[in-house]
Amino acid sequence: MASSSSSSPPPRRSVFDAAYIRAEFDGAGISPHFIPLIWKYVLQNPRCGDLDGVPSLPAAAYALLRNKFRPTTSTLTAAAESKDRTTTKLLIRLQNGESVEAVVMRYDTRLGKYDGKPRPGGVRSTLCVSSQVGCKMGCRFCATGTMGFKSNLSSGEIVEQLVHASRYSQIRNVVFMGMGEPLNNYTAVVEAIHVLTGPPFQLSPKRITVSTIMPAARAFPLGKLMNALQSYQNESKQTIFIEYIMLDGVNDQEQHAHQLGKLLETFKAVVNLIPFNPIGSSSNFKTSSDQSVKKFQKVLRGVYSIRTTVRQEMGQDIAGACGQLVVSLPDERSAGGATLLSDIEDLRI
């Protein structure tokens, strides 16, 4: 008796995979104007199991959604809260079985200053999202680099991190500073940003930060990188935001501050100093002392008149601080203060 085998249908896609759902709607003769309504429904009902409850869609749209899409393809599997309750780290399982982390950080804008005056506003949240599972760059000061590269996230999987995070806090800013190098997943990152800046999310482009690149020096030598930044600034007239990770005894001395100052003195730039966050036995680097950081900042400000801030790290006790994301949730948490911080992502640059 002959037996026949049939291949299983392809997995349903995230409804937030914008290019895919637009193409499917176009092929079915359904107006793309309905797509933001679907996204709004999922955002307001993050635990919905299907899309039958989306109001006012054409009948053909419901059939298409049932066959080819899921409200979300990822699942929030765990969350860890920092001791001071300013940070929540989310563990998110993807449809392919891999996992990524995202971090919700709560700030009080009134604690920051602009032109020497306290900022208006109050408590609000920034979401740090991942763009890849693991990372190809292999930076020795970053825990994600120890994972190696596993896969790129789709644009929908990037957006879904905000959907999951919205269960914990209303998100005002998004920073691509989680797992992965964003520009190594360029198409999906750009598509996700287009979704986040449109309805129903409506995030301001000025409140989305893409943190990049950790260049391989042979492929992107410093001179070439600086020329690219100069061309960008000449064209856009925008201030350039420079992140500088400080490693004790490696690049945190006064001579290094002068080197950085001379490198940037022809630019309109803001420098954000990031003290190294411990990542366990996978790195031999150590955190710069507060004194070294202050001296470094003083040189940049005083000698080169470069606006310089220091990153206020959050979530170290849950391994949720910058450079610590490596798909793990701690069982124990160290003690922490109970104060909200001002947000570097709220700088007007």
Whether pTM exceeds 0.95: no
Instruction: Please say if 157 is a catalytic residue.
Output: no
**Which member of 128, 135, 142, 322 is catalytic?**
322
Amino acid 347: pLDDT: 40
Q: Which of 120-134, 234-248, 272-286 has the lowest mean pLDDT?
A: 272-286
Asked if the model's pLDDT at residue 111 lies above 90, the reply is no
- Checking if the pLDDT of 235 tops 90, the result is yes
- Identified catalytic residue from 101, 157, 313, 345: 101
Model pLDDT for residues 14-68, shown as the tens digit of each residue? 999 999 999 999 999 999 999 999 999 999 998 898 999 999 999 999 999 999 9
Q: How far is CA 13 from CA 17, 24, 31, 160, 241, in A?
A: 7, 11, 19, 12, 35
- Domain map (residue ranges) of the chain: 13-70, 74-212, 214-326
CATH class of 214-326: alpha beta
Backbone angles phi, psi at 66, to 5 degrees: -65, -40
Do the first three CATH levels of 74-212 and 214-326 match, i.e. the same topology? Answer: yes
Is residue 314 over pLDDT 60? no
Length of the chain: 349
142 is catalytic: no
CATH topology (fold) of 74-212: TIM Barrel (3.20.20)
| pLDDT of 33 | 97
Query: DSSP states of 151-215 as a string?
Result: EEPPHHHHHHHHHHHTTT--EEEEEE-SSS-GGGGHHHHHHHHHHHTSTTT---GGGEEE-----
Task: Provide φ and ψ at 150, rounded to 5°.
Answer: -115, -50
The pLDDT of residue 324 is above 50:
no
Angle at CA 141, nearest 5°, toward 140 and 147? Answer: 60
By percentage, how much of the chain surpasses pLDDT 70?
81
Using the predicted structure, report yes or no on whether residue 98 has a pLDDT greater than 70.
yes
